Amino acid sequence: MANDKRFLDNRKYGHDDLAPIGCNDCLGCDSCCHGMGDTIVQDPYDMWLFCKNMRVSGGAQVTFELLISEDGPWELSYQDGVVLPNIKMVEDGRCPFLNDKRCSIHPIRSGLCRLFPLGRAFLDDKIDYYVMGGRYGCERHSDDAHMVSIKEWLGYPDIDRYEKFQISWHEIKTNIREASSEISYEEYKKLQEKLLDNFYKIPYKDNFFDDYERRVSRWKM
């Protein structure tokens, strides 16, 4: 990899590697839960994990429609040419799930929250991880980081299947981006609606990965 100032070092890591990312449980710092704008994009796995574990008052299941409603914690935004949901920051720029300087949904926080301060690059059949540095990373990680396995840091019970899902999801989004310059605006809008219908609006079954793979097999642009 070329020397890139976004990275703490010039290494790429696999999920079994140890990386200098341990930050002693953040020790009262909550700076990466502020001022994130629309960047905490929520993928279908994030939605499944959230909906499976949260209930609205009265016990009803959380749905995509509720999440993106006016009072919900998500909103839709353009993310590099694809309309996707992201966590909607509250008025002072803080994440709505930040409570008393701690993440109130820590065990079910989304993939991008888990990833920080790692970046990732998608290859055909694998993901390379990088440690972000400087203003892209976490100062505490750079100054006082201890080594942690990336698999442990991300905390997913089945990292192989999770990465397989991420690679597939990345490919679907890339295909939409690439197609967008070749189709009419009306066709693009329909494609976007189809993406949200197929991968977000219908609640996922208990086994996320099986359900996701079924949806991919039905997906045609």
> 62 vs 46, 65, 76, 204, CA distance in Å?
13, 8, 17, 12
The only residue of 120, 140, 151, 201 in contact with ligand SF4, by rule CB under 6 A: 140
Of 48, 30, 14, residue with least CA distance to 209: 48
Shortest Å, Cβ 37 to ligand SF4: 11
> Which of left, alpha, beta for 5 (phi over 0: left; psi -120 to 50: alpha)?
alpha
Is residue 44 within 8 A of residue 212, CB to CB? The reply is yes
Give, as one character, the DSSP assignment of residue 2. -
The only residue of 109, 111, 130, 145 in contact with ligand SF4, by rule CB under 6 A: 109
> Which 21-60 residues touch ligand SF4, going by CB under 6 A?
23, 26, 29-33, 40
Shortest Å, Cβ 35 to ligand SF4: 10
Is residue 154 within 8 A of residue 109, CB to CB? The reply is no
Give, as one character, the DSSP assignment of residue 100. T
Task: Decide whether 14 or 37 has the Cβ nearer to ligand SF4.
Answer: 37
Shortest Å, Cβ 145 to ligand SF4: 10
> 100 vs 44, 95, 179, CA distance in Å?
28, 12, 44
Task: Decide whether 23 or 51 has the Cβ nearer to ligand SF4.
Answer: 23
The only residue of 67, 105, 145, 172 in contact with ligand SF4, by rule CB under 6 A: 105
| Interaction between residue 88 and ligand SF4 (CB under 6 A) | no
Task: Decide whether 82 or 131 has the Cβ nearer to ligand SF4.
Answer: 131
Is residue 123 within 8 A of residue 116, CB to CB? The reply is no
Tokens (6 digits) for 153 = 């840091």
User: Which residues sit at the interface with ligand SF4, rule CB under 6 A?
Assistant: 23, 26, 29-33, 40, 95, 97-98, 103, 105, 109, 113, 116, 138, 140-141
